[in-house]
Amino acid sequence: MSSTTPAMELPAANSSPMPPGVTDPNYQPPPGRLGNLTVIMQHALQKLKQELIADGVFVEERMNDAALLR
């Protein structure tokens, strides 16, 4: 004898609004994030990368700019 269970109703999809700035064509990432670095920040990032290369610990596959900024 097989028992059948009524079909379970799925919850409604979350329709919360997107965070502010996501659909804004003029959106800028916060300062210090990749894509919005000051000249000084860009130089500091390049200096860090050069120091890691000089020390022999730079791993290109894992240490991209976004990872180094974190």
- What domain range is 55 assigned to? 39-69
Q: What is the pTM of this model?
A: 0.58
Note whether 34 and 64 are within 8 A (CB).
no
Q: Is 51 left (phi over 0), alpha (psi -120 to 50) or beta?
A: alpha
Q: Within a domain: residue 50?
A: yes
Note whether 20 and 28 are within 8 A (CB).
no
**With 90 as the cut, is the pLDDT of residue 55 above it?**
yes
Q: Within a domain: residue 44?
A: yes
Q: Within a domain: residue 54?
A: yes
Q: Within a domain: residue 49?
A: yes
Q: Within a domain: residue 13?
A: no
Q: Within a domain: residue 45?
A: yes
Q: Within a domain: residue 53?
A: yes
* Of 14 and 62, the one with more pLDDT: 62
pLDDT confidence of residue 51: 95
Reduced to 3 states (helix: H, G, I; strand: E, B; else coil), residue 26 is: coil
Q: Within a domain: residue 60?
A: yes
State the total domains in the chain: 1
Distance CA 67, CA 36 (A): 15
